[in-house]
Structure 1
Amino acid sequence: MSDEQKTDAQAAPERTPTFAEMTAQKVRERFPEEVVDASEFRGDWTITVRKGRIREVLTFLRDDPALAYNFLVDVTAVDYVGYMQSDPPARFGVIYNLCSYRQTGHRGRVRVRALVPEREAVVASAAPVWKGALWPEREVYDMFGIRFEGHPDLRRLLMPVNFEDYPLRKDYPLRGKGERDVIAPEDPGFVNIQDVIQLRDSSHA
């Protein structure tokens, strides 16, 4: 066997990028100034972006025919205080878990993280892209105090309307601030009619 043949035989075969890798590359190409990082951990890809054009990024992921991330699994958040150093500086990350489903079935999933600073804890709502963002964005607002611009009904979801803090922030005491002593027992007969109407309408959308 010649040296040239040996070299060809020893050369590693070119690896085909995974669907998530292709997703990260296409987002980088489309939004080069917005992507801060794209990384993989145990098979899951996270694309970290600046918050300014997050709705455009999400719309691109949904509408690009090669990607077709047409299912929003969840919207949640993480408080990185004292943990993550980022550029631009950000205390919070708003996380969007997406799946791509087509006629062929499940194609892939990806996680998009928008960096949100504490002093400007506002990010564009994903509800115009996926109606499924309505309820989880309310929960994120309730638990972290992150406001979603363009959300049609941003109210507390789990905590009382007169609650002043955000329980899932890292600086919130584990045992609370004495709220158990001042919040009256929940009225089992109380129903917020706005929630009932919204749930009814979203289930038929």
Structure 2
Amino acid sequence: MLIPRAVLDEIVEGRVDLAFRTWRAPRVRAGTRMRTAVGLVEVLSVEPVGLDTLSEQDALRAGSPSLDSLLSFLTGREGTPYRMEVRHAGADPREQLRRDDALDDAALDELRRRLDRLDAASRHGAWTLRVLTLIADHPATNSAELAPRVGRERLPFKADVRKLKELGLTESLDVGYRLSPRGRAALAALRPGGRPAPPAPEAP
């Protein structure tokens, strides 16, 4: 569920606490937490709503300039109108993760395992360290320029970078990407010649 940035800012400030959408079936449910540009937005409730029950106050609480504008938005799509209560639920946990560059042996070993799993699941071979190195060498570079450097199409390349972002290793910029502090520490340790892997535990 896309929410305009201006409305997100009002959710953070507490001036907006409702959202309305027309869907064939609900795309979120109570308890859903969405990652947005301002952190997490939580959906507290989801219920169908009759358009004739909506008021100017509902429109204002949803960040719409008027009831007419809200009704026009809801009737311009096929499906059932839904009313959702929403609230700001704090920072995206990935933000704190990206800043955490104190990688001890346990954290480094876990990262190595997760990157190895991504590599093993790939149809185009090991890619994680190559992409991390590429972003380190070419920060703030458009994905359309980066993807051919590793022999990838743009959209699959972007999907791979999102997987690294989930691990707290990359950050999206207005144009392109950069390594997070965690990503820089991980790359320094994991690429050839970096920190050695911790020894495997002995079998009992």
Higher relative contact order (CA 8 A, sep 6+): 2
TM category (shorter chain) comes to: under 0.3
Normalising by the residue count of structure 2, what TM-score does the alignment of the two structures yield?
A: 0.25
Greater fraction of residues in strand: 1
Greater fraction of residues in helix: 2
